[in-house]
Structure 1
Amino acid sequence: MQQSQYKSNSELKYLARMQTGRYMGILAGTILLNFVITLVAANIFSSLVPVTTAVGYIINYILVFAVQVVTSVLNVGLSFIFLKSACNMQSTISDLFCGFRKNTSKALKLSAIIAVVESICMIPLDIASVQLTDVLESVNLNDLSLMLAGGSLDSYEILESYNVFYNAMMKFYLIMLVCTVISVILTLPFFPAFYMILDFPSWSAGTILKKSFEIMSGNKLRLFMLYLSFLPLYLLSIFTCGIALIWVIPYMKMAETNFYLDMMAVRNKTINSCV
């Protein structure tokens, strides 16, 4: 396949902007609902087991992982809604739960595999999070709390406390950035999976995985560059306290959907030309 056959990322994003503006309500609403369901479910199950011991932490981690797998089935519904919107079809909130009505076992298998890859990538971040918590507790309870209460801390002690705090935060954010980039890169081959559950309902989970890897061969860099092009919008969202994400996230998801549709269209043309 020639790279020129594909739409450019600028073309995909232009289409996405038009479609997102047309269906903003349902797109933003379902993404927000998906986020709330996932967050509430994770917090409920996470609170069931205290993490004061190593065993408790492991059990808590397993519970949160299980919740992550189950709630990831909602991604099938999100994909369905965005596919319908890209094809100028109306969607409803109930479409978000279509993954639980049919092809649920396939969605769970694929979600579990993707969750395992993501969890492995995030292990260094989990360790760094525990270390950061220990550092913050020691700094807050000893030096910073005394300083804020007007206690007697000399300038050297204040500077030392802030240095510890600053270094711990910078280390944590650096590890988070590296883990996130690695996770995104390693999960790129799985990108079409949830769309393909909808387009090819007769395929098994194994076949979908195989075809996903096959289709993404030669397209992973294109998708990564598409993701990277949204980084300025995410950074600008900081200045709106995250409010702009209500538009940015659906916009990016719609661009992903157009990427998938374009990729499949080129593949089908190539197959037909070889017949």
Structure 2
Amino acid sequence: MSNTIKIAELKATAKERSIDRYGSLILANIIIFIIQLIISGITTVGTSGSIIIFVINLIINLIVNILLGVLVSGKAYLYMNLVYSQPIAASDIFFGLKQHPQKAVIIQSVFVLVDFFVSLPASVLLFMVQRTPTQSGYIAMIIALLVGFIVNLYVSLVYSQSFFLLHDFPERSAKELLRSSRKLMQGNKLKLLALYLSFIPLYLFGILTLFIPLLWISVYRYATIAVFYQKLISNAGSNMPAKEEQNGLD
């Protein structure tokens, strides 16, 4: 591969690696969705208007989302197997339970807690304008939403490679993996953002066609993101060797 990252080439590679494997990949996504749905239903205390119940649900939701980092890790492992042309199975999503789950939880906590804290101002303002509607209150809430979205997006881009790195470099600590992702994404954040945006037309098509194509689109998108990681790690050269032979996938 050349050092230039071209979205069309990434997508073409993702399609090539995914041929005849969509069944396992789609099944893995369905299993993850069902697990999240079941856990969400089990861990919800109640739906009353009590502030105490609301806070308890909020805390439980935060903890559950952080613990689900092991599934995010397993999904990264599955797609790394895919792009490195290794055998794959839907059960690969549970590999995160065996491969340093504590590191996966720490990495996931960064995303979950950042999302919580940057969303908090807008949530508070929404609560206030619902009780006392004012134009300035709505403007402040919209600004808070925009700022929160930008911060959240920036963090997600900077640390987007952390779970992939966990499986390529399992000997590194969670802090080192986050730092490695930050270094790897220097000069590449806009490229990844452009990759994300390139899937918007497909998602709109999926929504307009009764959502069924979304099963394939979500697989295609994540496979392309995994190929993006493979390209980044290859371009990193001697500073971060690609270790394709021993990339933690055996």
Aligned partner letter, 2:43: F
Tell me the equivalent position of 1:237.
Answer: 206
Residue 21 of structure 2: aligned partner: 23
Deviates more, 1:180-189 or 1:225-234: 180-189
Tell me which residue corresponds to 2:43.
45
Gaps of 5+ in 1: 135-171
Q: Which runs of 5+ in 2 are unaligned?
A: 132-140, 242-250
Which of the numbers 96, 103, 109 marks the counterpart of 1:112? 109
Distance 1:174 1:247, change over 3 A: farther
Does the alignment pair 1:267 with 2:244? no
Q: Which has the larger radius of gyration?
A: 1
* Aligned-partner Cα distance in 2 for 1:197–1:97: 15
**Structure 1's 128 and 213: CA in aligned 2 closer, same or farther, altered over 3 A?**
same
Q: CA deviation at 1:174?
A: 11
Distance 1:249 1:129, change over 3 A: farther
> Aligned in 2, Cα 1:133/1:251: closer, same or farther, shift over 3 Å?
farther
Q: Is the 8 A contact 1:82 1:254 kept in 2?
A: yes
**Change beyond 3 A, Cα 1:129–1:71:** farther
Question: C-alpha separation between the residues in 1 aligned to 2:18 and 2:121?
Answer: 36
**Deviation by residue 1:43-83 (Cα, 9 ceiling, x = unmatched):** 2111x244421121111101011111111210111111111
TM-score normalised to structure 1 length = 0.75
Query: C-alpha distance in 2, partners of 1:267/1:230?
Result: 26
Amino acid at match of 2:191: R
Cα drift, residue 86 of structure 1 = 1.1
The answer to whether residue 30 in structure 2 is matched with residue 32 in structure 1 is: yes
1:249-260 matches, cutoff 5 A = 249-260=218-229
* TM-score under structure 2 length normalisation: 0.83
Q: Which residue of 2 aligns with 1:62?
A: 59
Would you say 1:85 and 2:54 are equivalent positions?
no
CA contact (8 A) 1:118 1:187 kept: no
RMSD: 2.9
For 1:18, give the aligned amino acid: E
Q: Deviations over 1:85-119 (max 9, x none)?
A: 11222112321111111301111111111111122
The 3 A distance-change label for structure 1 pair 188 and 9 is: same
Matched, 1:103 2:100: yes
Whether contact under 8 Å (2:122, 2:145) holds in the other structure is yes
Give runs of aligned pairs for residues 90-169 of structure 1, distance below 5 A.
90-123=87-120, 126=123
Equivalent-residue separation in structure 2 for 1:43 and 1:129 (angstroms): 25
Residue equivalent to 1:203: 172
Percent identity, aligned pairs only, is: 26
Query: Does 1:7 find its partner at 2:9?
Result: no
**Higher helix residue share:** 1
Q: Is the 8 A contact 2:10 2:224 kept in 1?
A: yes
1:233–1:248 contact (8 Å) kept in structure 2: yes
